[in-house]
Structure 1
């Protein structure tokens, strides 16, 4: 599953988990792999300098974000450190899932990194740029400039829609989202059962 910042992936994830999905959240893992004391944080400090640490020794996420979301080269350097660590941890978590489980990977940068072919099916949570901007400013407290910078660092709406097998329209209120997510869940369960019934499936 993917979608632009402010598209509402978290709410879709919450609903899918409530239906029984095993969620592997790339954003959460990305935070874990750069916690204090990890090799990931040491590598980020080596690349960006100790000024991206808080006084307590944790990663200063807003400070680092202010650097990388205005400089494509610096963002690429950060991704080169974090993405392999996230990939390894995601694979480890997936290997722990049961044979009948529906595993949902929440991957914000799936489109940007050309990862769609790695997954059985891609669900795109879709919202207009206007909706994204409103949510980032109104709900997350970002300045409009910061919100636009983060949005522009991601794939376009058209690029995300182009890799979608299933599309969830999250431009509207929650009551319009839930029936769509339930349909997606039913389709995921159907496909999982179909895959499990194929000859040679472990």
Structure 2
């Protein structure tokens, strides 16, 4: 019986690095962000609903949704964030569930979901994992990666459930405070246990 494994983290915690590595080991990793982009693709049902809710100011010159403009609105306003989530989440879930049901017939499936616990999706997983870094490291990495001021970085990090909270809710934690090699070693160990039915 194959397992559904929820993988989460926070902005700049290294979740994508972990996902990419897990994928390279031959597992399907269904990435909620990829589905979220599909929801905002031009002329999709989600696209029209989002424009209806947020207006045409969020479009770029090609009439595509400018994710940066939309991000600026939702990161600073919990109500606006709620509004976007109520449009996009049901659609993302529907697409992910369909793919998950297919892939889990052949192998363990990882779900890369930033809002795993916030949306109660951990209940649909057999195992949950958080990619963890301290808040100091998270802010530092985010400022460097996205060229953000400290104020903007803090606002983005604070718009999410804290990694300490996610860590406490998870079955497993991949600690990513050190180098990539150490992260990969933790993943290898987890995958070994998974293959040997020790989980």
Which of 45, 57, 74 is equivalent to 1:68?
74
Q: Deviations over 1:70-127 (max 9, x none)?
A: 1100000000001001100101111221523110000001122222111110011001
Match of 2:115 in 1: 109
- Whether 1:172 and 2:178 are equivalent positions in the alignment is yes
The correspondence of residues 11-90 of structure 1 with structure 2, limited to 5 A, is 11-90=17-96
TM-score with structure 2 setting the length: 0.92
Task: Tell me if structure 2 keeps the 8 A contact 1:137–1:144.
Answer: yes
Match of 2:4 in 1: none
Moved more, 138-147 or 165-174: 138-147
- Measured in 2, the distance between the counterparts of 1:117 and 1:172 equals 30
TM-score with structure 1 setting the length: 0.91
**How far does residue 149 in structure 1 lie from its aligned partner after superposition?**
1.2
Which of 132, 135, 140 is equivalent to 2:146?
140
Match of 1:186 in 2: 192
Q: Any idea what SS the aligned residue of 1:5 has?
A: coil
For the aligned residue pairs, the C-alpha RMSD in angstroms reads 1.5
- Measured in 1, the distance between the counterparts of 2:193 and 2:64 equals 41
Q: Deviations over 1:25-79 (max 9, x none)?
A: 0011101111111110110000010111111111111111111111100000000
Q: Any idea what SS the aligned residue of 1:96 has?
A: helix
Q: Any idea what SS the aligned residue of 2:146 has?
A: coil
Task: Tell me if structure 2 keeps the 8 A contact 1:116–1:163.
Answer: no
- Measured in 2, the distance between the counterparts of 1:182 and 1:175 equals 10
Q: Any idea what SS the aligned residue of 2:49 has?
A: helix
Displacement over 3 Å in runs of 4+: none
Q: Which runs of 5+ in 2 are unaligned?
A: 1-6
**How far does residue 19 in structure 1 lie from its aligned partner after superposition?**
1.1
Aligned length: 193
